[in-house]
Structures are given as C-alpha cells and as structure tokens.
Amino acid sequence: MLHFVIFDDNELIREKVNKVITKLMLPTDIEYKTLEFSKYNKSFAQLIERRGEKKIYILDIEVDSYSGLDVARKIRERDWESIIIVLTAHYELAYDAFKNRLMLLDFISKFDNYEQNLYDVLKLALKASHVKKQFSFTSNRMAYRVDYDDILYIIKDTAKRNTIVKTFSKEYPVSLNLNEIMAMLPDNFIQTHRACTINRDNVKTIDFKENIITFINNEKISMLSKTYKKEVKEHVFS
C-alpha cells in the first residue's frame, strides 16, 4: 500500500492537499492511504521508522516547532527510498542545495498555481516511487551522489588511469574502473565502446557512419566502436 503523509499545521492546506491526492489517485487502481499530521509527534516518528512501506511525504517547510526540513532530515537518517515533496511560502534558488542533499523531489510554492503544481509533482512521484534515482558511490574517501538522469556518459580516461562521469554541468573523475561502475548502473545505460557507456535517455542523435554520438545538450563524442554498434542500434532508438 502506498502512504501519502501530509504534514502541515494549517488545516485548510491539509484539506487541499488531500483533495489533490484524491483527484490523482481515484482513476488509478493503486491502494493508498492518506495520513495527516499537524505537528511532529510520537505517532509521526513511529510512522517514519516503519520499514517496507512505500511513502510519499508532503511536508510544509514553515511549521513552528519542527519544520518540514527537520522531518525530511529525520526521514533521511535511514530512509532514502520514500519520496519527499516540500511546500513553502517562498521558494529560493538556494533551496536546490536542500533538494539535492535530502533528495527532495521538489519544492512547491503555496502561492504560485499551487494545486496544479502539486498535482503534477505527485504524478511524477507516483512514477518515481519505484525507480532508483541516484548513482551513489565512494571513491578515495569521497562520497558521491549523482542523479542518473543527469549523467550523459561515463568514459575511461586512460591517461590519468581513472574514469570520468560526465553530467550536464560537470565531470567527476573517479578512481573506480569502468566495469565496476557499469555494474552499478540501471538498464538505460549502454556500452558503446570498450571505454565508454552512455545514458540512452540523454542521447539526441547517433551518426553511425561517423561514429559520433550527440547528446541533448549538443555535446558530441566519438566513442562508438564496431563491436557495440549493433547493440546500440537496437537499444537506443528502440
């Protein structure tokens, strides 16, 4: 059973969120339950501790005694599977840091087309509730967490004898070998070269004649070898 957990000290908001959930869930045949909390108490703490249940939390950031972010931190002490959405009166760009660190699905402003936005995000949450979202690994005492969706490709850097994880905005040198990394990747990653694996969801085009792969940010790499060409053709545009 899927649990929606609403945490807000304003009864009106809780009601509204409840309505959005009902609107979203009625057409589906998913069994679900909605739980409401106006403050962080013992029963809320026990709910967080409960294992083996799929949960989607909708937390208000501005609660006097124990804020939504406090609850999110409490959840993330042990649980990295549940989905967390945060409601806030004013969204600031720097909240992205919290979003990343606490793996929050999204922040929703209470004043900006709030019910529709919540509906859209909950729809996404429903989809994402059974998909592992982040690539986590440790290399040379440094822990990394990178969204799978953000990765374009991973290549072996033979000169530096390490592997490079290339995302939309950054590249991370990692001292794990490509095979070790590939063992951790989901199905949407396919090998295109002895020294390269790509995220097929982020591929724009592939020029099989010139062996050039173009990603959706227009970055190009020529890491397509004969050995993997057939497999790539089958999987990327299937």
Three-state DSSP class for residue 84: strand
Which CA distances in Å does 136 have to 80, 139, 141, 173, 195?
11, 10, 13, 14, 21
Residues 110 to 169 in contact with other proteins, rule: CB under 8 A: 139-147, 150, 167, 169
**DSSP string covering 129-191, please?**
TTS--EEEEEETTEEEEEEGGGEEEEEEETTTTEEEEEESS-EEEESS-HHHHHTT--TTEEE
Nearest to 184 by CA among 168, 163, 204: 163
- Shortest Å, Cβ 116 to other proteins: 25
Least distance in angstroms from the C-beta of 168 to other proteins: 9
The residue from 52, 92, 187, 230 that contacts other proteins (CB under 8 A) is 92
Q: Which residues 219-238 are close enough to bind other proteins by CB under 8 A?
A: none
Taking the least distance from each CB to other proteins, the nearer of 32 and 172 is 172
Q: Which of residues 164-203 bind other proteins (CB under 8 A)?
A: 167, 169-173, 175
Interacting stretch for other proteins, rule CB under 8 A, among 30-38, 94-102, 199-207, 221-229?
94-102
Rounded least distance, CB 108 to other proteins, Å: 16
Q: Which residues contact 60 (CB under 8 A, 6 or more apart)?
A: 7, 8, 9, 10, 13, 67, 68, 86, 87, 88
Residue 41 binds other proteins (CB under 8 A): no
Which residues does residue 84 pair with via DSSP β-bridges, in sequence order?
A: 57
Question: Which CB atom, from 98 or from 153, has the smaller least distance to other proteins?
Answer: 98
Which stretches of the chain bind other proteins, using CB under 8 A? 64-67, 69-70, 73, 77, 92-98, 100-101, 139-147, 150, 167, 169-173, 175
